[in-house]
């Protein structure tokens, strides 16, 4: 099975045009610019961001990086005032945006907690994740329409969460789009398996030595085959799952000094023992899909070694001086901080190079299901490996699932499809139907689920202008939503 091929067969590595939507990024953009500078590909990057000063800052940084002594490529950077100007004639499009966390993510975390839902991340599912999708999908429909008009054959890389919702919306708006959703969670699993192969089999392995059969939806992916340079790792995985270190318990006090990104893999091991397939996503994401790990509140979450991402952490994410997730490029350029030009750990350049005709590359991607996962619905965006070569992305057939795992995944797909379909017309009540069938929300009484939904709408109303709030029966019935 092959995606519709772009007609950019004439594009080579000497004159590549990249449009970066969300180009004011403080994390992805600085890493991407360094990867580009260290590549053998030359071209132009046009940045668009609603915060123009952020895009201009990254333009200065990109051109500054390109002038570094050990840069091997020749890139130029410029900012545009409109999305259309950035997209015009682009060969590749990068989508990586988010709203101010202090005005959005904090509500995604805090309001559900008032109803007893202690989500660990609220990034891709659960009430907070669904509202992140509802805020973002209408904007990405506009991006897809603009791509159709200004660069219909471009390859589109979506990094914006929730990746499966957003990538699905891109295809729903523009079915012929050449879009792939990218995420590094599976890469982390491969890195851990490489450590296991090194520590227990003496193989001195790296991530690149590990091959896995990936299948699922983003942040809820699974592996049923794993090899290190051809050696079957399943006997080792099965052995490790029964060991004491795979059966640890934690208290809240144990996690006080831990980062929210620390992955103790206890949820992973428990799911493996129950279902016989290995999750390939960090525990902090798994618990939001297999949500019985959070139903006892934060103490239950902590018992499994997962530390909840607090709203204060999300708010600080927006400010480089207070965050360990964002980069202060001004400090690098001024000499306040030492700068070393070095590659990131991401796969963007490998995918880009393969599409331009360099070495064929295999990695996990998010694409509409055309049969690569045999027992999940067609067209739903799923995550599997794909073979990437010049101007082609070919998903690899990954097989199906044990019935219990399939049941879990299909439920989340039904939520995704319901919300994306509702976004076609902005039908808020139809989106509420998708909200209701989310497993975290299903644990609430009907009145509470309605009031939670209305509370979230009220807190984020300015970001939901594309939804029909005035015509919503759900909001009209709610005591939480203010009406005139």
- Quote the CA–CA distance of 363 and 65 in Å, as a whole number: 28
* Pair 391, 353: CB distance under 8 Å: no
Our answer to whether residue 184 is catalytic in this structure is yes
State the residue for tokens 């990586």: 96
CB atoms within 10 A of CB 442: 11
What are the two backbone dihedrals, phi and then psi, of residue 79, each rounded to the nearest 5 degrees? -105, 150
Name the DSSP letter for residue 373: B
- Quote the CA–CA distance of 385 and 210 in Å, as a whole number: 13
DSSP per-residue string spanning 392-452: EEEEPP-B---HHHHHHHHHHHHHHHHHHHHHTTT-HHHHHHHHHTSHHHHTS-HHHHHHH
* Pair 299, 293: CB distance under 8 Å: no
Phi and psi based region of residue 22 (left: phi greater than 0; alpha: psi -120 to 50; beta: remaining)? left
> Could you tell me the two tokens for 20?
């970066």
State the residue for tokens 């080792």: 236
> Could you tell me the two tokens for 372?
């690569």
What are the two backbone dihedrals, phi and then psi, of residue 385, each rounded to the nearest 5 degrees? -70, 160
With residues binned 3-state (H G I as helix, E B as strand, rest as coil), the percentages for the chain, rounded to 5, are 45, 15, 40
Q: Where in 250-398 does DSSP place strands (E)? A: 278-279, 361-368, 381-389, 392-395
Is the Cα torsion angle 106, 108, 109, 115 positive or negative in sign?
Answer: positive
> Could you tell me the two tokens for 112?
């559900």
Is the Cα torsion angle 269, 287, 97, 327 positive or negative in sign?
Answer: negative
Which residue, 423, 409, 411, is CA-closest to 219?
A: 409
Q: Which of the following is catalytic: 107, 164, 184, 317?
A: 184
DSSP per-residue string spanning 222-279: EEEEEEETTEE-HHHHHHHHTSGGGS----TGGGTTS-TT----HHHHHHHHHHSSEE
What are the two backbone dihedrals, phi and then psi, of residue 468, each rounded to the nearest 5 degrees? -80, 85
> Could you tell me the two tokens for 69?
């002594």
Distinct helix (H) and strand (E) counts, the chain: 19, 13
Number of residues that this document lists for the chain? 484
- Quote the CA–CA distance of 390 and 164 in Å, as a whole number: 24
> Could you tell me the two tokens for 384?
């599997």
Q: Which residues are catalytic?
A: 184
């Amino acid at each position: 099975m092959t995606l519709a091929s772009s007609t950019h067969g004439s594009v080579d590595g000497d004159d590549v045009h990249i449009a970066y939507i969300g180009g004011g990024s403080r994390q992805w953009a600085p890493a991407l610019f360094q990867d580009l500078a260290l590549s053998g590909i030359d071209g132009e990057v046009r940045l668009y961001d609603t915060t123009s000063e952020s895009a201009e800052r990254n333009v200065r940084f990109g051109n500054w990086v390109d002038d570094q002594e050990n840069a091997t490529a020749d890139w130029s950077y410029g900012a545009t005032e409109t999305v259309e100007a950035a997209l015009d004639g682009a060969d590749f499009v990068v989508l990586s945006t988010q709203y101010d966390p202090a005005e959005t993510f904090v509500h995604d975390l805090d309001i559900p907690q008032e109803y007893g839902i202690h989500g660990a991340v609220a990034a891709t599912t659960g009430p907070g994740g669904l509202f992140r999708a509802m805020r973002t999908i209408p904007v990405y429909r506009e991006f897809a329409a603009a791509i159709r008009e200004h660069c219909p054959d471009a390859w589109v890389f979506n990094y914006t969460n929730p990746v499966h919702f957003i990538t699905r919306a891109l295809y729903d708006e523009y079915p012929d789009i050449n879009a792939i959703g990218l995420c590094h969670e599976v890469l982390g699993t491969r890195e851990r398996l490489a450590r296991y192969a090194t520590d227990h089999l003496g193989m001195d392995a790296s991530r690149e030595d590990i091959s896995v059969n990936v299948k699922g939806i983003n942040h809820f992916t699974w592996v049923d085959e794993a090899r290190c340079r051809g050696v079957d790792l399943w006997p080792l995985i099965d052995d490790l799952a029964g060991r004491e270190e795979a059966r640890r318990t934690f208290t809240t006090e144990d996690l006080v000094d831990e980062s929210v990104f620390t992955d103790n893999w206890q949820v992973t091991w428990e799911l493996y023992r129950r279902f016989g397939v290995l999750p390939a996503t960090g525990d902090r994401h798994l618990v939001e899909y297999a949500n019985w790990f959070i139903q006892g509140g934060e103490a239950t979450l902590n018992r499994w070694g997962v530390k909840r991402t607090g709203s204060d952490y999300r708010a600080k994410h927006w400010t480089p001086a207070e965050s360990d997730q964002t980069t202060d490029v001004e400090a690098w350029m001024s000499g306040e901080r030492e700068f070393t030009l070095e590659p990131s750990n991401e796969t963007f350049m490998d995918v880009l190079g393969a599409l331009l005709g360099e070495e064929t590359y295999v990695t996990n991607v998010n694409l509409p299901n055309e049969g690569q996962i045999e027992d999940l619905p067609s067209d739903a965006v799923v995550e599997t490996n794909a073979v990437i070569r010049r101007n082609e992305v070919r998903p690899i057939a990954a097989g199906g699932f044990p019935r219990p795992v399939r049941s879990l995944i299909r439920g989340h797909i039904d939520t995704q499809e319901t919300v994306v379909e509702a976004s076609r017309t902005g039908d808020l009540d139809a989106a509420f139907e998708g909200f209701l069938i989310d497993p975290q929300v299903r644990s609430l009484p009907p009145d509470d689920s309605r009031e939670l939904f209305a509370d979230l709408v009220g807190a984020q109303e300015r970001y939901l202008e594309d939804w029909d709030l005035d015509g919503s029966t759900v909001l009209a019935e709610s005591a939480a939503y203010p009406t005139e």
